[in-house]
Amino acid sequence: MQLTLVIACALTVGILTRAAHAAEPSELLRKAAIGSPATVDHSAWDRLLKQYVKTGADGINRVDYAAFKKGGQSQLKEYIHALEATDLASLDRPEQFALLANLYNAKTVDIVLNRYPIASIKDISLGGSLFASLTGGPWKAKVLHLKGVELSLDDIEHGILRPVFKDPRVHYAVNCASVGCPNLQPEAFTGARLSEQLDVAARAYINHPRGAAVAEGHLVISSIYNWFKADFGTSDDNVMRHLKAYADAPLLNQLKSVMAITGYDYDWSLNDIKR
């Protein structure tokens, strides 16, 4: 009885000790080398994106997963490992953002390639929580190691990028391998061009029907603006302001005549190239 109690206490202390030393994801970005000239080499990812991401006639960027799995996944894994070894604290904020967005997207593609062919990323369940096992998707599983910290895709998006940068354009940077998601860009993000690239990504999504579509006076927008409404200003009015800030003339004119958001939509189909 006493031995059992001692073992139980030891296990409890061990668990609590590990918990006490476990770093929060956002702690990885607690420091930044503001003004640092240090940059990260994303050329390998850039080459892979240019080779395997194709823009369809419907304006959606799709990935040639079959060709990628056959000819590019080993290079992809090497790139991911290189990013995992990078010292984030040596980078300024734009470089940190670019690294994390690229890492998220690269690992998402890698996970899909490991299970391809599939119809949806939600068909992949890697565990991570009871909720994840019920809903599907790989987002809560610890699939990356960055400076000794285990990270899930959710940790990068919701534990670091969103709370640290507080920029709604995060949602146009990370791609969940779904048709309904903002495009996987055909080039790597870089610190030097980050703001420009995020604006381009936001404009492309908002001006596409899966971002915002007006028909007969009814406005249906992506579920992203509902799931993460707090990032766009918490209210429907602020979401509308955000949409108008990036809307081009045809959509902008339609939005001016709309009084309210009618509904939300999202397509979880894999963003696979059409053959």
**Per the domain annotation, does 69 fall within a domain?**
yes
The pair of three-digit structure tokens given for residue 227, joined into one six-digit string: 């799931």
Give the structural domain span for 54.
42-275
State the Cα–Cα distance between residues 264 and 262, nearest whole angstrom.
7
| pLDDT value for 127 | 79
Instruction: Using alpha carbons, select from 243, 257, 245, 172 the residue that is nearest to residue 212.
Output: 243
Please give the mean pLDDT across all residues of the chain.
91
**Per the domain annotation, does 34 fall within a domain?**
no
pLDDT higher than 90, residue 85 = yes
**Per the domain annotation, does 117 fall within a domain?**
yes
State the Cα–Cα distance between residues 196 and 63, nearest whole angstrom.
23
Q: What is the mean pLDDT of residues 139-155?
A: 94
| pLDDT value for 136 | 82
| pLDDT value for 272 | 98
Q: What is the mean pLDDT of residues 243-263?
A: 96
**Using an 8 Å Cβ cutoff, are 210 and 265 in contact?**
yes
pLDDT range class, residue 24, cuts 50, 70, 90:
confident
pLDDT higher than 60, residue 15 = no
Q: What is the mean pLDDT of residues 243-253?
A: 97
Q: What is the mean pLDDT of residues 242-246?
A: 98
Which amino acid makes up residue 136?
Answer: G
| pLDDT value for 131 | 61
Domain count for the chain: 1
SS (H, E, C) 127-182: CCCHHHHHHCECCCCEEEEECCEEEEHHHHHHHHHHHHHCCCCHHHHCCCCECCCC
Structure-derived torsion over alpha carbons of residues 84, 76, 167, 202, reported in degrees to the nearest 10: 170
pLDDT tens digits, one per residue of 55-74: 999 999 999 999 999 999 99
pLDDT tens digits, one per residue of 112-131: 999 999 999 999 999 766 66
pLDDT range class, residue 9, cuts 50, 70, 90:
very low
When mean pLDDT is compared over 7-11, 85-89, 127-131, the highest value belongs to 85-89
Q: What is the mean pLDDT of residues 32-55?
A: 97
**Per the domain annotation, does 7 fall within a domain?**
no
| pLDDT value for 134 | 65
Classified as helix, coil or strand, 72 is coil
| pLDDT value for 132 | 57
**Per the domain annotation, does 155 fall within a domain?**
yes
Query: What is the 8-class DSSP label of residue 69?
Result: H
Is the previous residue joined to 117 through a cis bond, with omega within 30 degrees of 0?
yes
**Per the domain annotation, does 56 fall within a domain?**
yes
| pLDDT value for 249 | 95
**Per the domain annotation, does 58 fall within a domain?**
yes
Higher pLDDT pick, 263 / 12:
263
pLDDT higher than 80, residue 19 = no
**Per the domain annotation, does 71 fall within a domain?**
yes
